[in-house]
Amino acid sequence: MVRACLVKRWRKIPYKKVGRKISDTPLFRLKKIMLKMGKRHDSYVKLKAILTIHKMLRTGNSYSGEELAEVCDTDKRTIIDYIAFMRNELKASIDSSRYFGYKYNSEKPFSMLQLEFEGPEQPDTTKRREILLNELLYYIHQLQKTDVLDGFENILFALEQEIRAIIGPYILLTEYEEEELKGDLNPLIEFEEVELRGRSYFDKLYQLIHRKEFIKIRYQGFEMAEAETKVVMPLQLREHNNRWYLVGWAQGNNQSVFLQVFPIDRMLNQPFVTQEQFKHPNKADLNAHFKNMVGVTKKGKPRKVKLKFHDSVRERYALTKKIHPTQEASIDPQDGKTVLELRVICNNELITKILEYGSAIEVLEPASLRNKVAGILKAALQYYV
């Protein structure tokens, strides 16, 4: 009954005289997959595999059929079928070779969320795009209510965050959704709404990263007296603590090339393609680059950090939500208190995280970090005594 209502509703939408029909977009096809799912476990498995393949290929790297099969927990023959589905049904431009495997065509960027209209009479694409994305969010919420999502939650969360990053925090419910949700206005999952300047640049940056083109940005960090213009080879959009950052190759004052991080909310204008270029490494292992740090600021080398907890409640919080993946816990034999050991860079983000625990935590080592945290706490104390 629900499925029939949805199909009927979509037929009433007057999309006409456009070069590319709404039913030709990856988003609509993905939605149709969700509509057909019902209680069929194989459909969930297929959707999970397609989203996983897309997540891997969008990095720009190539993967063999065996590698994709291992990640998707299936066989190579099934991966071939999934790739064929993505090419034929989602119109994904996927290159393949017996030598490098599968990868997205860098000249034809593909996004699960892309929605394009062509032709002389263009409809209100922004409004309709928001409606479509919001409907996809609704179906994701329905998937999250099922009992066959073991191991699938992270992919749905990532997809939901990606959609919200594009359309913003406010949800425009369709007529059907309003009727469906009547009497149950509390969403299954609620994200913290954060006012983020620069949100309008997100979609443009996403496309430019896919196209692998040099861009020029103008930004002013919080500690910068004046704004700067930078030529960047964009690599990744990265989120930390409700803030988005652009990661890319950039040149320093001495013309050396290094990975630099730019807060999107500190950009002063829309990024644009530039003919200015510089030589840079062909590949960047961003996971390795950010592995030993809290946040995105890389200053210095990783060091062993020891933290002791003096509050059992806050201690349990840190044990269940790790400060960093390298965190290991042990018991101090002298007083029986928990000691956490991490191997991280001692940057400002780590200090901020430590200060969040207030008097519940003590920095044991290194001495330089202990002294810095102590200095901050002493400076703050003068306002209270």
pLDDT recorded at residue 33: 52
Q: What is the CATH number of the domain that holds 328?
A: 3.30.70
In whole angstroms, give the CA distance from residue 7 to residue 10.
Answer: 5
Q: Within a domain: residue 116?
A: no
Q: What is the CATH number of the domain that holds 81?
A: 1.10.10.10
CA 361 → CA 77, 285, 308, 372, 383, distances in Å?
53, 33, 6, 14, 21
Q: Within a domain: residue 100?
A: yes
In whole angstroms, give the CA distance from residue 70 to residue 61.
Answer: 16
On whether both 162 and 224 belong to a single domain, the answer is no
On whether both 256 and 309 belong to a single domain, the answer is no
User: Where a domain ends, among 241, 268, 290?
Assistant: 290
Q: Within a domain: residue 349?
A: yes
Q: Within a domain: residue 92?
A: yes
pLDDT recorded at residue 120: 40
pLDDT recorded at residue 116: 42
pLDDT recorded at residue 364: 95
Its domain, for residue 337, covers 303-381
On whether both 248 and 269 belong to a single domain, the answer is yes
Q: Within a domain: residue 64?
A: yes
The secondary structure of 206-252 as a DSSP string is HHHHHHT--EEEEE--TT-SS-EEEEEEEEEEEEETTEEEEEEEEE-
Dihedral sign for Cα atoms in the order 297, 58, 117, 24: negative
What are the tens digits of pLDDT across the range 243-301?
888 999 988 777 788 888 998 888 888 888 888 888 888 888 888 888 899 988 888 89
Q: Within a domain: residue 68?
A: yes
Per the DSSP assignment, residues forming a β-bridge with 267 are: 219
In this predicted structure, the answer to whether residue 5 has a pLDDT above a threshold of 50 is: no
On whether both 177 and 279 belong to a single domain, the answer is no
Dihedral sign for Cα atoms in the order 36, 38, 42, 46: positive
In whole angstroms, give the CA distance from residue 213 to residue 231.
Answer: 10
User: Where a domain ends, among 290, 313, 336?
Assistant: 290
On whether both 207 and 272 belong to a single domain, the answer is yes
3-state helix, strand, coil in the chain (%, to 5): 40, 20, 40
The angle subtended at Cα 291 by Cα 211 and Cα 368, nearest 5°, is: 130
What is the domain count for the chain? 3
Q: Within a domain: residue 260?
A: yes
Tokens of 33: 């997959």
On whether both 34 and 133 belong to a single domain, the answer is yes
In this predicted structure, the answer to whether residue 351 has a pLDDT above a threshold of 50 is: yes
Q: Within a domain: residue 296?
A: no
On whether both 91 and 172 belong to a single domain, the answer is yes
Closest CA to 130 of 176, 160, 163: 163
On whether both 267 and 339 belong to a single domain, the answer is no
What are the tens digits of pLDDT across the range 151-171?
444 555 556 565 555 555 444
Q: Is the omega angle on the peptide bond into residue 169 within 30 degrees of 0, that is, cis? A: no
Residue 126 pLDDT level (bands cut at 50, 70, 90): low
User: Where a domain ends, among 238, 257, 290?
Assistant: 290
CA 243 → CA 183, 237, 239, 255, distances in Å?
34, 10, 6, 29
In this predicted structure, the answer to whether residue 117 has a pLDDT above a threshold of 70 is: no
Judged by DSSP in three states, 46 sits in helix
On whether both 50 and 20 belong to a single domain, the answer is yes
Tokens of 70: 């291992």
On whether both 330 and 259 belong to a single domain, the answer is no
On whether both 267 and 334 belong to a single domain, the answer is no
Q: What is the CATH number of the domain that holds 245?
A: 2.30.30
On whether both 145 and 24 belong to a single domain, the answer is yes
